[in-house]
Amino acid sequence: MPVSRPLEAHPLLCFNVGRRHYREVVVGEGELFCSPDAHSNDLRNWRSPLGEFDLPDFVRALPAPWNKPSLFVARVDAAMSSVPRNISPLDCPKLLLVGDTHHQGAAITRLLDYALAEPFDLVVGEYDRHHLHFFAEAGLRNVAWLPSFTLSPYELAPAANHSQPLAFFGSTGAYHPYRNAVLQQLETDGFPLFTGSGTRQQAAECYNRALISLNVSLNGDLNLRVFEVLAAGGFLITDRLSVESGLPLLFEPGKELVTFETPQELQELITGFLARPDEAMAIAQAGQARYLKQHRPQEKIRQLLSLMARGGLSHPEYDVRLDGRTRLPAERLPLLRQRIAVYELLQELHRVNPSLDVLFWPGAERVASDAVDLPRLRVSMMSSETADPGINAILEGRVGWTTDDDLGARRWNLLLCKAGDLSAPHLQALLRRRFCDGVVVTDDLDDAAGRPVAELGLEPFNHRPRAFSFRQ
C-alpha cells in the first residue's frame, strides 16, 4: 500500500472501548484515540458514536491534523458496539484490528461481514490466529497476525523470593466455566491458590510475587495474560492450545513457559514445580527474555508500521500461511459461511464443556479440519479414501480414526454429517441405538431430508446450523 507521509505522524484510532484498556501510545505519539467511552474531547481522546456511524462525517468534525489522518485504525469486536462505516473516502492507509472472535456466538461471521464490506488495506488479528484462515479464504488479500499488538504490560524483573506459591489473577465470571472448574478443583484439592482481580499493575505485581502464575484461556485463545505474566517476570503454567493458536510458535513449552492438557496434569505440574522452585524461575527468566526480545510495545509498533509500509513480516512465524488451512482450495462464500456457522456452534459448545467427543461422518472432513483448533474437542473420523490430501495432512496425528466395527463400542457427544446422510439406513440404525447425544447438520436441511430427524426422536436445539438432540 503506497505511503506518502509517516504513518505515525497523526493516526486516527477508532476503538470500541476506552484508552484505559490500552497503552498510552498504541501506534504513534501524534495519535487521536476515539471511543464511545471518552468523557470529553481533547487532543489525545475524542468521543465517537455508539453503533454504526459514517466515518467521513465524523472525521470532518475533528480538529486538524486528524481531519486528514496519516493512518486510520479501527478496532471492532463481535459486540459491534462502535462501528465506522463508509471508510473509503479517507485518503490514508486503513487498518482493521479484529477483536475477540472466540466467544459471543456468531463472532467470526459478524467480523468477517464487516471486513468484507469495507475496503481496509490490512486486516490484523491479535489473539485468535486460528480464525484468520476464514478471513483469507473469504478473499481478503491482506490478512496478518500481530500477536498481542495492543499489549500494555508492566515489566518487572523476576523476583528472588516469592510470597505466594500459586496465583491466578483475572476474570472468573459466567463467560469462563472451564476456567472456574479448573480453579475450583485446585481449591477443593487443597492447593494454596490465591485468586484476585484488579488493575494491570496489580496483576503484574501478583505475577511477580507468585512462584507459579496460572492461565486458563476463555476458549482456546492466545490471551493477554500469557504476555503479561512473562513481562512481569512470572513463571507461567497455561492451558495447552492448538498449534493454529500460535502459542507454540511464539514460546517454547517446557523452556519459556509450561502447558497442561488436563486438570489432572495441571495438578501434577504444580506439585512438581512447588518442589523445584529453581527450575520454575529458570523458565520464568527464559520466558521474559523471549518477551523482551519480540513482544515489547515498541517492537509491536515497529512491526505494524513495517507491515503497513512495506508489506513485510519481521518475524516469519507471524505468517498466517503457516496454517495449512490457508492453502486448501477456497470454497464459494455461501459454503464457507455454512462451515463458519458449524464452527461457531462447536466453539460455543467447547466454551461451556470441559471436553467433547465428536464424530465427523464421511464428507465432513473439511469441517473437521476447521474444528481441530479447539483444544478440548476430541475429534474422531470415519476412515475415508475421498478426503483431500491437504486435509489429511492437517488431521494427521490429531484425530481418532474409527470404523464401522467400532461404532457400537462407544458413544459420542455429537455427530456431524450432511443432511443426505440422515436418510442412509446404516446411519439411521446407529441413531436409533442413540450412539450419540446429538447431531449437527453441516449443510442445508430441506423438508425431505428433515423427515428422518423427527422419526428418530431428535429435537432441534440450534437453527443455524441445524442441530438436534434426542428427546429425553
Mean pLDDT for 93-104 is: 96
Q: Is 175 inside any structural domain? A: yes
Do residues 24 and 112 share a domain? yes
Spatial distance between the Cα atoms of 214 and 353, rounded to a whole number of angstroms = 20
Do residues 311 and 348 share a domain? no
Q: Is 156 inside any structural domain? A: no
Mean pLDDT for 58-66 is: 97
Do residues 342 and 395 share a domain? yes
Do residues 217 and 203 share a domain? yes
- Residue 268 pLDDT: 98
| Of 76, 72, 180, nearest in space to 125 by CA | 76
- Residue 355 pLDDT: 96
| Of 281, 250, 312, nearest in space to 126 by CA | 250
Q: How far is CA 245 from CA 132, 228, 361, 431, in A?
A: 10, 17, 25, 34
Do residues 463 and 345 share a domain? yes
Q: Would you list the DSSP string of 282-337?
A: HHHHHHHHHHHHH-SHHHHHHHHHHHHHH---SSGGG-GGGSGGGGSPPPPHHHHH
At residue 409 the predicted structure's pLDDT band, cuts being 50, 70 and 90, is: confident
Arithmetic mean of pLDDT over the chain: 94
Indicate whether 312 pLDDT > 90. Answer: no
Q: Is 52 inside any structural domain? A: yes
Percent of the chain with pLDDT strictly greater than 70: 96
| Of 167, 149, 129, nearest in space to 321 by CA | 129
Do residues 313 and 337 share a domain? no
**Residues facing 196 on adjacent strands:** 169
Q: How far is CA 338 from CA 134, 367, 390, in A?
A: 12, 10, 20
Do residues 276 and 306 share a domain? no
Domain that holds residue 65: 12-150+299-325
Cβ atoms 1, 121 nearer than 8 A: yes
Do residues 285 and 303 share a domain? no
Do residues 276 and 247 share a domain? yes
At residue 410 the predicted structure's pLDDT band, cuts being 50, 70 and 90, is: confident
Distance from the Cα of residue 171 to its chain's centroid: 17
The sign of the dihedral angle between the CA atoms of 454, 456, 459, 461 is negative
At residue 197 the predicted structure's pLDDT band, cuts being 50, 70 and 90, is: very high
Spatial distance between the Cα atoms of 408 and 126, rounded to a whole number of angstroms = 43
Indicate whether 463 pLDDT > 80. Answer: yes
Q: What is the pLDDT of residues 119-155, one digit of tens each?
A: 999 999 999 999 999 999 999 989 999 999 999 999 9
Q: Is 203 inside any structural domain? A: yes
- Residue 8 pLDDT: 87
Mean pLDDT for 421-441 is: 94
DSSP 216: -
| Of 424, 382, 432, 370, nearest in space to 406 by CA | 382
Spatial distance between the Cα atoms of 283 and 412, rounded to a whole number of angstroms = 39
Buried b (16+ CB within 10 A) or exposed e, 197-227: eeebeebbbbbbbbbbbbbbbbbbbbbbbbb
Cβ atoms 399, 380 nearer than 8 A: yes
Cβ atoms 378, 357 nearer than 8 A: yes
- Residue 385 pLDDT: 57
Indicate whether 449 pLDDT > 70. Answer: no
Strands (E), 305-450: 356-360, 377-382, 400-402, 412-417, 436-441
C-alpha cell read off for 209: 510475587
Q: What is the pLDDT of residues 239-298, one digit of tens each?
A: 999 999 999 999 999 999 999 999 999 999 999 999 999 999 999 999 999 999 999 999
Q: Is 4 inside any structural domain? A: no
Count of domains in the chain?
Answer: 3
Q: In this structure, what CATH number is given to the domain that contains residue 205? A: 3.40.50.2000
Q: Is 1 inside any structural domain? A: no
Cβ atoms 334, 146 nearer than 8 A: no
Q: What angle do CA 264, 266, 269 make, to 5 degrees?
A: 115
DSSP 253: B
Backbone φ and ψ of 302, nearest 5°: -60, -40
- Residue 182 pLDDT: 98
Contacts by 421-428, CB closer than 8 A, 24 or more apart: 421/361, 421/363, 422/449, 422/452, 422/453, 422/456, 423/449, 423/452, 427/361, 428/452, 428/456
Q: How are beta strands 467-470 and 436-441 bridged, if at all?
A: antiparallel
DSSP 142: -
Q: Between residues 374 and 19, which one has the greater pLDDT?
A: 374
Q: How many helices (H) and strands (E) does the chain have?
A: 15, 21
Mean pLDDT for 22-37 is: 95
Q: Between residues 316 and 28, which one has the greater pLDDT?
A: 28
Do residues 24 and 96 share a domain? yes
**Residues facing 460 on adjacent strands:** 468
Q: What is the pLDDT of residues 171-196, one digit of tens each?
A: 998 999 999 999 999 999 999 999 99
Residue 74, SS3?
strand
Backbone φ and ψ of 434, nearest 5°: 55, 55
Note the pTM of the prediction, 2 decimals. Answer: 0.96
A 10 A CB-CB count for 245 gives 26
- Residue 262 pLDDT: 97
Q: Is 155 inside any structural domain? A: no
Do residues 97 and 144 share a domain? yes
Percent of the chain with pLDDT strictly greater than 90: 86
Q: What is the pLDDT of residues 212-245, one digit of tens each?
A: 999 999 999 999 999 999 999 999 999 999 999 9
Indicate whether 327 pLDDT > 60. Answer: yes
Do residues 290 and 205 share a domain? yes
